[in-house]
Amino acid sequence: MPMAKTTPVTVARGDGIGPEIMEATLSILKGGGARLEIEEIEIGEKVYLRGNSAGIEDSAWDSLRRTKVFLKAPITTPQGGGYKSLNVTTRKAFGLYANIRPCIAYAPYIRTKHPGMDVVIVRENEEDTYSGIEHRQTHDVMQCLKLISRPGCEKIVRYAFEYARAYGRKKVTCFIKDNIMKMTDGLFHQVFDEIGAEYGEIEKEHWIVDIGAAKLADTPEAFDVIVMPNLYGDILSDVAAQIAGSVGLAGSANIGDGCAMFEAIHGSAPRRAGQNLANPSGLFLGAVQMLVHIGQADVAEKVHNAWLKTIEDGVHTYDIFKEGVSKEKVGTKEFAAAVVARIGQKPKHLKPVDYSKAPSRPLTTRPAYKRDSSKRELVGVDVFVCWPTGTMEELAKKLQPLAGDGLKLESLSNRGMKVWPDGHKETFTVDSTACRFHLSEGKGSIPHTAVVKLLEKMTQAGVEFVKTEGLYNFDGKAGFAKG
């Protein structure tokens, strides 16, 4: 019989408990007959401390480009500034836009208040406030830009629905805050409605993230797949993993069109390192997702069922050990050996997994992105100025005569609150004010040179501009919040 094809995979053993849980995970995969060709790379603390601010060498990028599959143990980010997050760098460099975190309860074998919980969080992984675009504008004000793009929303929302369809899940919920962020979260919501309409068999719902989070923490059984922008997903996937049993149990997949990275959701737990104590389950369950992704669903099913049987048999590491429920307290190595010894067995009480219909890589296929062809016209500008001492009346008086080219000073706002005209005297203000100049007739458009002229005049009048935001109409519809 010809040998089954092996798949090249890049492996990093990481820091802290990383090497131990990776060794345990690889031993289980090997025991299950995984067909892997492993390329090892070094990442993390040692690389950072050698002066590489990204924590990863060029040769490691070459390996990832070759294999396109990365099994990564947690790393330690050294204390102090100047170190870039390796996770954020890898996600962005390889366009790993979807973060998938199944959060499942294993009651009664692992303590949880939510025995029926079986939720998959699909988190957008590249956009939102994670773009790292931050500035100190004035003495008083720091700014972080939240960027949400239509192609970004389309990719993640379609991935969530495709995932639900592929894994036989019944409902996809969207968490957003579009009662406040009407444009950014509003776009995510709109795309959810548009793409959701293509998946008639799947139930759809959306929650405002605050009350949705409360409901998730209280009644997680009410949810199935939840898709959300980056920041909400980052926070709520940890909450979901913890209430399911433990963050130490959850694995995660970071999926892009070309590459994918698989990991545990927890960190390198340095205090537990080198003592054969750590639970390898989070990384192992990440590796199970990897096996499915690379088309080795047969092995994934075998090792995952053996793991479930081990949990059910009460063979537990210290973090999930509970007197009266657990039968045997084991170390990292012994836990892995117990799983290997059960390969071929299925759990009797926990639900066995069935990956026979699970799709491998094609989950990322989707229609080509079509940019809308609306007419984009500049109709005004918000000029952010540093105005530390004067009143808003004084600022308005200085600016009003400067507006030309059909523009009119429409309003001043401070931290998003209108302070002129008709401001409230009680409103607290800081040293950065947004000055809105808008077409006085509300029709037509202005050339970009009008903005340049305005800025010149403002500078001559002694008003310092910090930045500008163009006000654009799209087919006559305002592409900016109406203050």
User: Given the rule CB under 6 A, which residues bind ligand NAD?
Assistant: 17, 21, 74-77, 87, 248, 263, 266-272, 278-279, 282, 319
Distance separating alpha carbons of residues 157 and 146, to the nearest angstrom: 18
| Amino acid (one-letter) located at 439 | L
d(CA 60, CA 42): 7
DSSP 370-418: ----PPEEEEEEEEEEE--SS-HHHHHHHHGGG--TTEEEEEEEETTEE
Distance CA 151, CA 153 (A): 5
Nearer to ligand NAD, 278 or 454 (CB): 278
Given a contact cutoff of 8 angstroms between Cβ atoms, the answer to whether 261 and 273 are in contact is no
Residue 387, φ and ψ in degrees, nearest 5: -135, 80
**115 vs 267, beta carbon nearer ligand NAD:** 267
Query: Which of 310/432 has CB closer to ligand NAD?
Result: 310
- What is the smallest separation between the CB atom of 331 and ligand NAD, expressed in angstroms? 11
Residue 174: which of 217, 219, 131, 236 has the closest Cα?
236
Burial of 435 (0-12, 13-18, 19+ CB in 10 A): buried
Strands 251-255 and 98-104: antiparallel
For residues 270 and 314, which CB has a smaller minimum distance to ligand NAD in the complex? Answer: 270
Min separation Cβ 71 and ligand NAD, Å: 12
CA 97 from chain center: how many Å?
8
Q: Tokens in use for 189?
A: 């919501």
Smallest distance, ligand NAD to C-beta of residue 74, A: 4
State in angstroms the smallest separation of the CB of 452 from ligand NAD: 45
Provide, rounded to whole angstroms, the least separation between the CB of residue 78 and ligand NAD: 8
Q: Considering beta carbons, is residue 31 or 282 the nearer one to ligand NAD? A: 282
- The tokens describing 14, both together, are 């990481």
Q: Are strands 477-478 and 432-439 parallel, antiparallel or unpaired?
A: unpaired
Nearer to ligand NAD, 338 or 403 (CB): 338
- Residue 77 C-beta: closest distance to ligand NAD, Å: 4
Q: Which is nearer to ligand NAD, 269 or 407 (CB)?
A: 269
Give, rounded to a whole angstrom, the gap between the first and last alpha carbons of the chain.
Answer: 71
Residue number closest to ligand NAD, CB atom: 267
Q: How far is the CB of 100 from ligand NAD (least distance, A)?
A: 15
We find the least distance from the C-beta atom of residue 80 to ligand NAD, in angstroms, to be 12
Amino acid at 69: V
Which token pair is 164?
């639900």
**Cβ closest to ligand NAD, residue 314 vs residue 470:** 314
